[in-house]
């Protein structure tokens, strides 16, 4: 009887702690998700018009060339940036955990600071730095006798600026993940390797890197998702231009929904993209075995 | 002890959640109560002792004519003013939610809400005598997109116009056009090239990134977005004349304009280029005049008439209107303020602070200097160049169907991503599909 009462109390406590989170999750995630799926079958304009139109939005999206171009652009942007999202934080983490370097705490702090910035604020700052006419970088280039670069006109340069900004703002966070991973590797392994005559680079590639695979998997997954849904940074830097050359999928969905009042269409695009993202994440899980196997 | 702590924690959490829910849900009820309790409302005399909630789009700056008028009215009538600032862009997304939640301000100063959502606003024909106003201004700035109802009274009346850098013109040996002898658009592009080469400016010509500025070129060359087709309209934005105009504009961007601006890769403001002395000619609007007069000291600037196209000159007028939400808490109070503002003596005072073309017949702004008087005369004259094609486009309310896509199409053409023909054909398809109007080309 006492045991049953104890079990009941535990269960009740469990639910009392879980229910607030569950309620928030339901209100801010499940409900919008359900609404979004429902809107995707309507011509909802955000206000008064909302008629059921079946699969029309999906048909329109899947026959829209701009949608495919935007998805392809997003995937290319993601794939091109992923190596940097992993390599730069890993290198920084290896450096700041090195015993032979001084001032690593300061470097850690400096690298982490951009993580605290709002992506939009960071984007606007980068926009100011890379402004074509009055930007700092072009000013400095001109000072040393180099012609100003067309950051705002050349699609490749505009993408490079966004990529640099994206890596700059996220490197600190991923570096911390790697620092945690490196600190968890047993020192004895390095000592044993040292006794066996292994050089530091060999130890890094043969010990550090393989044992960081679970961390790398997390960084890979988070980076992929964040790159696929890059939005605020792009809004701050290029507004998707020149033309539509830096318009990625979230900009496209946002523009359709909030600028063109095609909430139904935007919701359908959101559903399709969510499925695509889930597939990509599943492939990553499969390919890396969840980072669990070295 | 442990149980007590669990119970206390759970109880505390429940209280906090209940309080936060109460705080969220209770606000409207409280406001309503306050509104009902506020005294002084009378069907016979002026309303006193209430609070007028006014929604504006930007932080009031120097020369805040509306703010000054509100303050004066508040002192005269004993009512309070509460200003809510929501940017133009945010108004667009937030207003529908405000309407849904019946959480409307009493008065809105807006450039489009009253036209886009006329059913949410009071018909102004019952508030003021509309015959006292400039009819073009009422039609363009005050009228609903979907009906003949005047849902806003313009408190700001502006026209597109062209500014030029007198020093750059002098250095390039170019004489500015006059109202009697305006340039053609081809002359403007040619002269801009000379100014860019010899006038000590980076760019010969710059234009605001606004489809309304670009459309001046289109109307001047006889083009339009739509044409009347019986009771309906047909889409003509991709006419050969329009494709030629856009092609020439793209060329001008490559030769004499800061291309990055119209290509959409930067948020740089061409007005700043002009103010910094980097652009010789600027296509913008009368709303910049006072800022230029106070801010530009590096060179002398002037106002010149808009060039002629194959069909003549063109201008687009616009502005901001005062509109009264029909579901506001103090509709009568808002009406009282609007009536007060447009009494001749109050409007004349308002206009002297606003320093812009007048929206009321028989009342005009009188600038202090001869230079300003001459230049205001040029700007006032620009309002005569509003074309019939522009009026037809406005009457069609095409922006109800597609809006930003038009500017985006223009940007993609300027950036070189697509051809001018593809840009306009694509937009014509999209507009035709959304509106149900047939395509003319």
Please provide the DSSP assignment of A169-226 as one string: HHHHHHHHHHHHHHHTS-HHHHHHHHHTT--HHHHIIIIIHHHTHHHHHHHHHHHHHH
Distance CA B338, CA B150 (A): 14
* pLDDT surpassing 50 at residue B24: no
User: For residue A258, which residues of chain B lie inside 8 Å, CB to CB?
Assistant: 93
- Nearest CA of chain A to the CA of B417: how many Å? 6
C-alpha distances in angstroms, A98 versus A91, A105, A134, A193, A208?
11, 11, 40, 16, 12
Query: How far apart are the C-alpha atoms of B154 and B69, rounded to whole Å?
Result: 15
| Pair B202, B138 in one domain | no
Tabulate helix, strand, coil % of chain A (nearest 5): 75, 0, 25
- Nearest 5°: the CA angle B100, B106, B112 is 70
Instruction: Provide the token pair at A68.
Output: 């495919």
What does the radius of gyration of chain A's CA atoms come to, in whole angstroms?
A: 24
Q: Do B147 and B114 belong together in one domain?
A: yes
Assess B93–A contact: CB distance below 8 Å, yes or no. Answer: yes
pLDDT at B61 exceeding the cut of 80: no
Does the pLDDT value for residue B14 go beyond 80?
Answer: no
Tell if the CB–CB gap between B405 and A260 is shorter than 8 Å. Answer: yes
Q: Is B94 at the interface with chain A, CB within 8 A?
A: no
Nearest chain A alpha carbon to B10: A16
Q: ipTM of this complex > 0.90?
A: no
Check whether residue B310 and residue B326 sit in a common domain: no
Contact A242 B260 (CB under 8 A): yes
Contact B268 A150 (CB under 8 A): no
CA distance A216 to chain B (A): 34
Place A291 in a pLDDT band, splitting at 50, 70 and 90.
low
Same structural domain for residues B266 and B397?
Answer: yes
Distance CA B124, CA B150 (A): 6
User: Within an 8 Å CB–CB cutoff, is residue B33 touching chain A?
Assistant: no
Alpha carbon distance B226, B393 (integer Å)? 6
B116 in contact with A at a CB cutoff of 8 Å?
no
Q: Mean pLDDT, chain A, as a whole number?
A: 91
**Angle ∠(B215,B218,B219) on CA atoms, nearest 5:** 90
Q: Is the dihedral of CA A116, A30, A272, A285 positive or negative?
A: positive
Chain centroid to Cα B63, Å, comes to 18
Domain that holds residue B343: 50-151+319-370
Question: What is the nearest CA distance from B404 to chain A, expressed in angstroms?
Answer: 7
**Interchain contact B422–A (C-beta under 8 A):** no
Same-domain status, B278 and B418: yes
Between A265 and B23, residue with greater pLDDT: A265
Task: Tally C-beta pairs within 8 A across A and B.
Answer: 88
pLDDT for residue B15 is more than 80? no
Instruction: Single out the residue of B318, B330, B279, B286 nearest to residue B305, CA to CA.
Output: B286
Q: A133 and B273: CB-CB below 8 Å? A: yes
pLDDT of residue A1: 64
Task: Answer whether the bond into residue A242 is a cis peptide, omega within 30°.
Answer: yes
How many angstroms separate the CA atoms of A43 and A261, rounded?
Answer: 10
Residue B19's pLDDT is 40
User: Looking at the DSSP assignment, which residues form a beta bridge with residue B156?
Assistant: B320
Q: Say what the pLDDT of residue B187 is.
A: 97
User: Which of the pair, B9 or B272, is modelled with greater confidence?
Assistant: B272
Within 10 angstroms of residue A81's Cβ, the number of other Cβ atoms is: 22
What are the beta bridge partners of residue B184?
A: B308
Contacts of B175 (CB under 8 A, 6+ apart): B169
Give the per-residue pLDDT at B399: 83
Which of A259 and B226 is assigned the larger pLDDT? Answer: B226
Q: pLDDT class for B410, splitting at 50, 70, 90?
A: very high
Transcribe B376-419 into DSSP letters. Answer: HHHHHHHGGG--HHHHHHHHHTGGGT-SHHHHHHHHHHHHTSS-
Task: Kindly list the strands in the beta sheet with B232-235, ordered across the sheet, starting from the edge strand earlier in the chain.
Answer: B226-229, B232-235, B438-439
Chain A residues at the B interface, defined by Cβ less than 8 Å, are 9, 13, 16-17, 20, 46-47, 127, 131-134, 150-153, 158, 238-245, 255, 258-260
Contact residues on chain B for A49, CB-CB shorter than 8 A:
none
- My answer on whether B351 and B399 are in the same domain is no
Shortest CB distance from A241 goes to which of B10, B405, B411?
B411
**Interchain contact B21–A (C-beta under 8 A):** no
Question: In this structure, what token pair is assigned to residue A51?
Answer: 């008629």
- Which residues are CB-contacts of A126 (< 8 A; sequence separation ≥ 6)? A161, A164, A165, A233, A236, A237
Q: Is residue B99 in a domain?
A: yes
Lowest model confidence (mean pLDDT) among A178-187, A278-287, B345-354: A278-287
Long-range contact set of residues B92-99: C-beta below 8 Å, sequence gap at least 24: B93/A258, B96/A46, B96/A47, B99/A47, B99/B325, B99/B327
CATH number at residue B394: 3.40.190.10
Dihedral sign computed on CA atoms, order B5, B11, B16, B17: positive
* Å between B281 CA and nearest CA of chain A: 17
- The answer to whether residue B429 sits within a structural domain is yes
**pLDDT at A89 exceeding the cut of 50:** yes
Answer yes or no: are the C-beta atoms of B319 and B137 closer than 8 Å: yes
What's the confidence (pLDDT) of residue A42?
Answer: 95
Which residue of B260, B273, B418 is in closest CB contact with A153? B260
Q: What pLDDT is attached to residue A3?
A: 78
A112-136 pLDDT tens trace: 999 999 998 999 999 889 988 889 9
pLDDT confidence bin for A292, thresholds 50/70/90: low
- List chain A residues with CB under 8 Å of B263: 152-153, 241-243
Alpha carbon separation from B182 to A185, B185, B193, B281, B305 (Å, rounded): 79, 10, 18, 14, 6
CA distance B50 to A55: 52
Please compute the mean of the pLDDT values over residues B283-293 and round it to a whole number: 92
Closest chain B CA to residue A6:
B3
Stretch B81-103: mean pLDDT = 87
Residues 390-419 of B with CB under 8 A from A: 402-405, 408, 411-412, 414-418
Nearest CB to A152; choose among B3, B266, B405: B266
User: B5 or B136, which is more confident?
Assistant: B136
Q: Does B229 touch chain A (CB under 8 A)?
A: no
Contacts of A241 in chain B (CB under 8 A): 263-266, 411, 415
Q: Are residues B139 and B202 both part of a single domain?
A: no
Model confidence band, residue A183 (pLDDT cutoffs 50, 70, 90): very high
Q: Is B24 exposed, middle or buried (0-12, 13-18, 19+ CB in 10 A)?
A: exposed
Measured between alpha carbons, how far is B304 from B163 in angstroms, rounded to an integer? Answer: 6
Best mutation target among B265, B267, B412 (most A Cβ atoms within 10 Å) is: B265
Chain A contact for B123 (CB, 8 A cutoff): no
Q: Is residue B110 part of a domain?
A: yes
Distance CA A89, CA B289 (A): 51
Mean pLDDT of chain B: 87
Q: How far is CA A273 from the centre of its chain?
A: 15
Lowest pLDDT segment from B57-61, B279-283, B330-334: B57-61
Quickly state the pLDDT bin for B17 (edges 50, 70, 90).
very low
Residue A27 to residue B120: CA distance in whole angstroms? 30
Is residue B125 pLDDT above 90, yes or no? Answer: yes
| Residue A87 in this model has a pLDDT that exceeds 50 | yes
Residues B204 and B298 in one domain: yes
Tell if the CB–CB gap between B402 and A46 is shorter than 8 Å: no
Return the structure tokens found at B247. 């092609």
* Nearest chain B CA: its distance from A134 CA (Å): 9
Average pLDDT over residues A280-289: 85
Residue B149: what pLDDT?
93
Q: How far apart are CA B211 and CA B377, in angstroms?
A: 25
Contact of B259 with chain A, judged by CB distance below 8 Å, is answered with yes
Residue range A44-291 forms a domain whose CATH class is: mainly alpha
Band of pLDDT at residue B34, cut at 50, 70 and 90: very low
Using the predicted structure, report yes or no on whether residue B196 has a pLDDT greater than 70: yes
- Examine the domain organization and report whether B351 and B410 are in the same domain: no
For residues A193 and A206, the answer to whether their CB atoms sit within 8 Å is yes
Q: How many domains does chain B have?
A: 2
Task: Please write the tens of the pLDDT for every residue from B340-366.
Answer: 999 999 999 999 988 888 889 888 888
**pLDDT value at residue A26:** 94
């Amino acid at each position: 009887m006492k045991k049953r009462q104890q079990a009941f109390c535990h269960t009740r406590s469990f639910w009392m702690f879980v229910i607030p989170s569950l309620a928030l999750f339901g209100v801010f995630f499940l409900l919008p998700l359900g609404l979004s799926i429902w809107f995707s079958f309507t011509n909802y304009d955000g206000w008064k018009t909302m008629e059921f139109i079946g699969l029309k939005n999906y048909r329109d999206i899947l026959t829209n060339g701009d949608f495919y171009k935007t998805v392809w652009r997003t995937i290319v942007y993601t794939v091109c940036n992923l190596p940097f999202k992993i390599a730069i934080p890993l290198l920084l983490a290896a450096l700041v955990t090195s015993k032979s370097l001084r001032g690593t705490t300061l470097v850690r702090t400096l690298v982490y600071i951009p993580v605290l910035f709002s992506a939009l604020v960071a984007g606007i700052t980068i926009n100011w730095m890379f402004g074509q006419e009055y930007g700092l970088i072009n000013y400095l280039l001109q000072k040393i006798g180099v012609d100003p670069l067309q950051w705002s006109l050349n699609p490749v340069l505009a993408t490079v600026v966004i990529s640099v900004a994206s890596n700059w703002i996220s490197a600190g966070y991923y570096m911390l993940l790697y620092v945690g991973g490196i600190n968890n590797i047993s020192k004895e392994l390095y000592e044993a390797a040292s006794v066996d005559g292994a050089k530091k680079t060999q130890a890094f590639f043969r010990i550090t890197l393989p044992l960081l695979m679970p961390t790398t998997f997390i960084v890979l997954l988070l980076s992929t998702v964040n790159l696929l849904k890059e939005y605020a940074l792009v809004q701050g830097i290029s507004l998707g231009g020149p033309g539509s050359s830096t318009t990625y999928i979230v900009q496209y969905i946002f523009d359709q929904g909030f600028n063109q009042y095609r909430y139904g269409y935007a919701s359908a695009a959101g559903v399709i993209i969510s499925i695509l993202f889930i597939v990509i994440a599943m492939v990553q899980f499969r390919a890396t075995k969840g980072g669990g196997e070295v | 002890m442990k149980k007590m702590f669990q119970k206390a924690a759970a109880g505390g959490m429940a209280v906090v959640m209940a309080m936060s829910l109460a705080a969220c849900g209770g606000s409207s009820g409280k406001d309503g109560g306050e509104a009902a309790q506020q005294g002084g409302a009378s069907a016979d005399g002026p309303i006193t002792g209430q609070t007028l909630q006014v929604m504006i789009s930007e932080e009031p700056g120097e020369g805040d004519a509306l703010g000054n008028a509100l303050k004066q009215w508040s002192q005269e009538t004993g009512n309070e003013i509460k200003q809510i600032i929501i940017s133009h862009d945010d108004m667009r997304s937030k207003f529908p939610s405000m309407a849904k939640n019946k959480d409307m301000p009493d008065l809105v100063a807006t450039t489009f809400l009253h036209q886009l959502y006329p059913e949410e606003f009071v018909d102004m024909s019952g508030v003021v005598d509309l015959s006292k106003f400039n009819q073009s201004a009422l039609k363009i700035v005050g009228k609903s997109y979907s009906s003949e109802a005047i849902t806003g009274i313009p408190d700001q009346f502006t026209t597109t116009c062209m500014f030029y850098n007198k020093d750059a013109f002098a250095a390039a040996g170019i004489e500015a056009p006059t109202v009697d002898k305006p340039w053609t658009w081809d002359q403007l592009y040619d002269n801009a090239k000379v100014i860019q080469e010899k006038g000590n400016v980076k760019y010969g010509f710059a234009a605001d990134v606004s489809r309304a500025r670009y459309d001046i070129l289109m109307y001047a060359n006889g083009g339009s977005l739509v044409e009347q087709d019986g009771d309906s309209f047909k889409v003509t934005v991709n006419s050969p004349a329009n494709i030629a105009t856009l092609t020439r504009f793209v060329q001008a961007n490559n030769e004499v304009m800061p291309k990055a601006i119209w290509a959409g890769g930067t948020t740089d403001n061409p007005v700043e280029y002009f103010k910094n002395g980097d652009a010789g000619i600027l296509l913008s609007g009368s709303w910049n005049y006072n800022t230029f007069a106070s801010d530009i000291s590096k060179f002398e600037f002037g106002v010149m008439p808009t060039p002629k196209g194959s069909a003549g000159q063109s201008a687009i007028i616009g502005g901001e209107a005062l509109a009264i939400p029909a579901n506001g808490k103090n509709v009568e109070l808002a009406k009282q303020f609007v009536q007060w503002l447009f009494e001749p003596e109050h409007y004349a005072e308002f206009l002297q602070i606003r320093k812009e073309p007048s929206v009321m017949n028989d009342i005009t702004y009188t600038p202090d200097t001869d230079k300003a008087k001459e230049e205001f005369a040029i700007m006032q004259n620009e309002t005569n160049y509003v074309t019939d094609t522009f009026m037809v486009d406005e009457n069609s309310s095409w922006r109800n169907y597609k809006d930003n896509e038009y500017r985006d199409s223009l940007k993609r053409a300027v950036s070189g991503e697509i051809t001018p023909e593809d840009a306009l054909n694509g937009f014509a398809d999209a507009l035709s599909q959304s509106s149900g109007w047939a395509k003319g080309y």
